Chains A and B, each alone.
Chain A
Amino acid sequence: MAETKTVAPKQSGLERFWNWLTETQAWTSIFRHGRPTTDRNRVLVMLSNVFLHLHPVRIRKSGVKLRYTWCMGGMSFFLFLSLTLTGLLLMFYYRPTLEYAYTDIVGLREHVPLGIMREMHRWGAHAMVITVWLHMFRVFMTGSYKPPREFNWSVGVVMLVLTLLLSFTGYLLPWDQLAIWAITVGSNMARATPFLGHEGPGASLLRLGDVPLIHAQDDARFALLGGTFVGEAALLRFYVLHCVGLPLGIAVLMAVHFWRVRKDGGISGPL
């Protein structure tokens, strides 16, 4: 009598390793579902992963098309993440004082073989300004700011301003000629703030008797720079804003922004 033998299909070493790996206790404790090849697992992968959970499970076909979103919002977010990472690394080497700021940057350039962290950070920042503009442009051209997404557009505008401010505050940190004069030109505007700048219209009206309330030592520009010129106080202020204040603010708003994209019905499309 002939015996029937069931022959398992031949598996390559890699496949066997993969099968073994995805059944270990460690793996199954991290990923609580099989590979996303079935509909059920495609739902589970989105729902059980905190990062992927930013997304819905399913999405309009037009919304995943590059021709519709240009992926500009996603790229802005990615650049922000990459800037956070490279910025963190730069913070290990950079001290925001008149004594060290410039020389630390020189050190990064001279003593780190093949170092490109500063470049990645600077060009990433320029690129982010551009991608955020283009993202805004595409949102406008698809009319995606119309109801119910009005508020998310407003959140976006604030993030656009924060992006520019992040870039602006970072511009000062290398403490070279390029840096302080760009910031000087930029911050000089603040002294012309109506009422609050000492060369602004209306500032001379704010006085107690003979005593003017607004002068170079207490106007809007002084608040920005911590002094009457771009000096050490300005450097510290810009550093703290650049590394802590503004990133925190924009991160919170990004959370709101993404949340609202979902709550407003996902990527826009014709009704």
Chain B
Amino acid sequence: MAFIKILFNAVADPRLFFLLAVAGLALVVWKREHVASNTIGYGGLGILGAFFVFGTFDPYFRLIVTKPDNVPIVGLIFMLVFFVWFSIREGVLNDRRIAAGQGPIEKAEADRVWVWPDLVYTELISLILCSVILIVWSIFLKAPLEQPANPANTPNPSKAPWYFLGLQEMLVYFDPWLAGVVLPSLIIVGLICIPYIDKNPKGNGYYTFTERRAEITIFLFGFAVLWSSLIVLGTFLRGPNWNFFGPFEFWDIHKLAALNNVNLSEYVWVRTLRTGLPSNWFIREIFGIILVLFYILALPVILAKAWFKGYYEKMGGPRYYVGAFLFLMMMALPIKMLARWLFNLKYIVSIGEYFFNI
């Protein structure tokens, strides 16, 4: 028992947790033919359920999972796993039909039915179910109410509402101006841009995977791995001082995490060139600035000529560049994460004089 808990605590470490999430997505996409089976889908949900049941016997696990505001996130985990699996499954089933020349199932269901009764009754039933669930949930789970607001007494940890905890988790890797303002704005802009960037005419109005491999993989990466799994991480595995705590670990306020992160400028000037840091910020940060400009301005051009050549030709210049920019901005987070984990990198560009740290 204790061994299993230690194992889970270790696996939940942000690094492993994130890598496992990525590996999980890769596996689902790669082995989707197998993933589509009911045994895997419902079996997986069952295992997840068993884990939570097992977990609730542990006092620390129970404490964090049954916090009233965290209960919805437990629900979210299950619903997310289910619906990701379900939509992949529907895609695989349709892909098989398409391969057999039958066209997607939605095509076979093109004939019209009466809205009354076919749709209104479905709506009525889901409305009733929804109300019943909501009422039962409200009866059994009291809304939380803590001590009256006290500006002088900061709780530790102080957490944003759960749906923003992915963003709060980003604060580990980026400064507030990026994690809290620029990147969220880019998420919104990026979402709005999706239909205008994606020129693939296939897969409109039915589930499919093979006809939209890249789109679906990228979206799943953003939605399931970056956004959702970081929320789970931020909610359940971050304790006092935003330190990491395993699911079966006591939230010890005095837990110390070694912070020995180093800026890129220091790596270059001090550790490699063996001189001091130049006092002029521009010279000091020149390597980081070049790197960032390369990433934003040059990399899309290079990719257009190499790896993404096909996309460039299909999408045309403007669409390609907007899409590539948004994609690179999304990838900035995992890149920064890796740089932190591998090299203890703090900032690529660090101009504290202007609050400009990347």
**Using a CB–CB distance below 8 Å, which chain A residues touch chain B?**
36, 39, 42, 45-46, 52, 55-68, 70-71, 74-75, 78-79, 82, 102, 105-106, 109, 116, 118-120, 122-124, 126-127, 129-130, 133-134, 136-138, 140-147, 149-150, 153-154, 157-158, 160-161, 164, 167-168, 171, 174-182, 184-186, 188-194, 197, 199-205, 229-231, 268-271
Contacts and interface: CB of A to CB of B under 8 A. Distances in A.
B158 A176 contact: no
21 contacts: A52-B116, A58-B112, A62-B110, A71-B122, A79-B134, A126-B69, A138-B83, A143-B208, A146-B200, A149-B195, A164-B163, A175-B148, A176-B148, A176-B149, A185-B159, A193-B181, A202-B354, A202-B356, A204-B355, A270-B106, A270-B107
A93 to B, nearest CB: 14
Contact of A186 (B123, B143, B147, B161): B161
Contacts of A123: 72, 134, 137-138, 141, 143
B164 A204 contact: no
Contacts of A127: 72, 134
Given A143-B206, A157-B188, A194-B181, 15 more contacts: A45-B116, A58-B113, A61-B111, A61-B112, A64-B118, A109-B143, A123-B137, A150-B195, A153-B192, A186-B164, A200-B177, A229-B151, A269-B205, A270-B103, A271-B204
Contact of A201 (B84, B154, B162, B177): B177
Contact of B158 (A116, A185, A269): A185
A269 B106 contact: yes
B114 A57 contact: yes
Nearest to B91: A141
B113 to A, nearest CB: 5
Given A57-B115, A71-B126, A192 B204 contact: no
A54 to B, nearest CB: 10
A62 B341 CA distance: 47
A109 B241 CA distance: 32
A93 B137 CA distance: 22
B151 A180 contact: yes
B28 to A, nearest CB: 13
Contacts of B51: none
B143 A62 contact: no
